[in-house]
Structure 1
């Protein structure tokens, strides 16, 4: 396992972690809003048994720089992913796996750079676009309830804002308490200004989805209160070579709620590429 960094086109330093066999197919993990590369927990370890897993800290998150700008620019997000791929010498065959906001970032990359370096994409509890009235980008009830509290600089109000997510990121059950605390901690560690900036953008990536020439897998919980399942269905309906796996009764953090199923479905999809 190695911690590395790359410099994006606008000078932002992007930190990422590489694990798994160097000869394995590159699998780039893009976390969600107010997360970091540690959010994947044991699921990243599972995937690293077979693939070259590259878990990225998005700009403003984890140990990556907060440039104070670029959060509303699809090309800036695309440049971050491109910088990591370039630093790792990846010119083809990569799989992009975006959870929640990470799916928007993955689509920003595809919209800007195309799919020459990418063999496939996985959207997990995610959406491809963002913004008011953008199709396939409606916020779920938990997200609507959390805003604007989660943007507040006052710790008490921010904590109360995040508390409305409840078990959404882990699924019900006290056995997921350690995972819940890790995700809660990473959210609070993300600067409030960054948490807010990510929502002040509009990107309709429908055209990009319709023009994709790569296989797409959509994983989505039917009871996701953060990103509605309809957003995942929108991706599946518009990407030409897409299939969707709806997890009945599941919520937002599928890789924690049912880690074995997540590994099985993602690995089966990637292995079929060969």
Structure 2
């Protein structure tokens, strides 16, 4: 009996020692090429720049890499200069033993934008990368123009990992489970299966990227980030953000509670919400056509992207009649977007993205939810203006000849002053309000 106990004790010691050794494992880039890597805060970071136009920065989330943005990046590159990077600890970037979490990720993004001289750039973040974007916008408001949060948790309780993946984040024994996942692809597929609503949408890139981190990077990024966003700390800090914000979430997200969109929209004044039905934690992969249209419509202010995406999506009857292998991908080139003859001045959507829009503190945020094949705002009743009329009026407002889209300046960071709408004249029979300088009446 004593021999068995000794063997078990030695086995436990071996397991603990191996787990501690794996938990301290690091990774450094062997040969960094200037065209693909840059050094930020002492770590080599892999990046990519494509397209031309106003800057857009893409920030991936936990256990992911910049490859998750490839469908969106190629689409945005037709109108914008798209910057993407692998955060420290993930993808092809360095993976040190420390330096993780929302605060350190925000510092890395600031160094990244400063390296390229970016100002008032639109920043899109996914998962914990979206929390880093919020921190960046709150600390450096002059750096960020527009914000898109995708599947972003507002509190630590809103993160729910599947049990096999949760075991890989535990202290002491977690590194062994993570090493098992890195070695066995079926284990990684089990990790990432809850990230998408439909198992057919689970891509090889998503599965492979889950095993490119280290136990320290994966566990510490999650644990430190959860502490930093706990008790609504980051949501309260987001209240100072004045930039327009779009919050996107899948209604069937099993990793981050979709109700997190309410916390962000309630904190930020200029927030819009997009809830995508039949979609999980990775809408950029599960619903690329609809997701790209939402992003383009938000960045450009042109709702025709939504209309075109809806027209291109096949109906349920078409999907049943057409074999899956014969279906064409949902590609939405700019030259296919229908532009009415009276809207010829609206073809350039690389316009001023910093136009100030009136915001009422009492008005609820705009909700863009797909219902019965159309996009409409929550709270509208059946007696309101028909969808087709609203779309036409929205197009006329966005592409009116009286309010033309300004030309792209030579210096992309030297934007004109925001246009302001003239005040409406008061009716003659209406008494003007009392002056704030005069005596007040109790």
Which of 173, 187, 190 lines up with 2:213 in the alignment?
190
Cα distance in 2 for residues equivalent to 1:237 and 1:48: 32
Q: CA deviation at 1:116?
A: 0.2
Give the structure-1-normalised TM-score.
Answer: 0.85
How far did residue 144 of structure 1 move? 5.7
Q: CA deviation at 1:185?
A: 0.3
Alpha-carbon offset, residue 237 of structure 1: 1.6
- Work out which of the two has the higher radius of gyration on C-alpha atoms and give 1 or 2: 2
**Per the alignment, do residues 53 and 249 of structure 1 end up closer, same or farther by CA in structure 2, a change over 3 Å counting?**
same
Render the CA deviation track for 1:199-248: whole Å, top value 9, x for unaligned: 22122212221110100000111110011101222111211110101112
Which of the numbers 129, 136, 149 marks the counterpart of 1:123?
A: 149
**Residue 86 of structure 1 pairs with residue 114 of structure 2:** yes
- 2:239 maps to 1:213: no
SS in 1 for 2:195: coil
With 149-158 and 258-267 compared, the bigger mean Cα shift is at 149-158
In structure 2, what is the equivalent of residue 77 of structure 1?
105
- Contact residue 20 and residue 53 of structure 1 kept, 8 A: yes
What per-residue deviation string (whole Å, max 9, x for no partner) do you get for residues 115-149 of structure 1?
Answer: 10111110011135x54xxxxx5213x44662023
Runs of at least 5 residues in structure 2 that lack an aligned partner in the other structure? 1-33, 302-352, 355-442
- What SS is found at the alignment partner of 1:67? coil
Q: 2: distance between equivalents of 1:161 and 1:188?
A: 7
1:70 deviation in Å?
A: 1.4
Equivalent-residue separation in structure 2 for 1:227 and 1:256 (angstroms): 16
Higher strand fraction (1 or 2): 1
Is the CA contact 2:61–2:125 (under 8 Å) kept in the aligned structure 1? yes
Q: Deviations over 1:158-195 (max 9, x none)?
A: 653651442533x4263x35xx2111101111112211
1:41/1:187 CA distance change after superposition, 3 Å: same
Q: CA deviation at 1:51?
A: 1.2
The equivalent residue for 1:181 is 204
Query: 1:157, CA displacement in angstroms?
Result: 5.1
Counterpart mapping for 1:123-142 below 5 A: 123-128=149-154, 131=156, 137-140=157-160, 142=161
| SS state at 1:121 partner | strand
Equivalent residues of 1:219, 1:246 under 8 A apart: yes
Distance in 1 between residues matched to 2:88 and 2:210, nearest whole Å: 14
CA distance in 2 between partners of 1:244 and 1:261 (Å):
14
Distance 1:256 1:11 in 2: 32
**3-state DSSP class of the match of 1:16?**
strand
Match of 2:48 in 1: 17
* Misfit runs of 4+, over 6 Å: none
Aligned residue number for residue 105 of structure 1: 132
- Displacement of 1:63 after TM fit? 2.2
Residues 230 and 73 of structure 1: CA distance in aligned 2, closer, same or farther (over 3 Å):
closer
1:247-266 CA deviation, whole Å, 9 max, x = no partner? 12311110111111111110
Is 1:146 aligned to 2:175, yes or no?
no
Unaligned runs of 5+ in 1: 132-136
Q: CA deviation at 1:89?
A: 1.4
For 1:156, the equivalent position in structure 2 comes to 180
Q: Which residue of 2 aligns with 1:236?
A: 265
Question: Which secondary structure does the structure 2 equivalent of 1:103 belong to?
Answer: helix
Kindly tell me: are residues 44 and 117 of structure 1, through their superposed partners in 2, closer, same or farther at Cα, counting changes over 3 Å? same
After TM superposition, the score normalised by the length of structure 2 is 0.54
RMSD across aligned positions (CA) = 2.3
Mapped to 1, the partners of 2:102 and 2:133 lie a distance apart of: 13
CA contact 2:45–2:93 (8 Å) conserved in 1: yes
State the match for 2:68 in structure 1: 39
Q: Distance in 2 between matches of 1:19 and 1:156?
A: 36
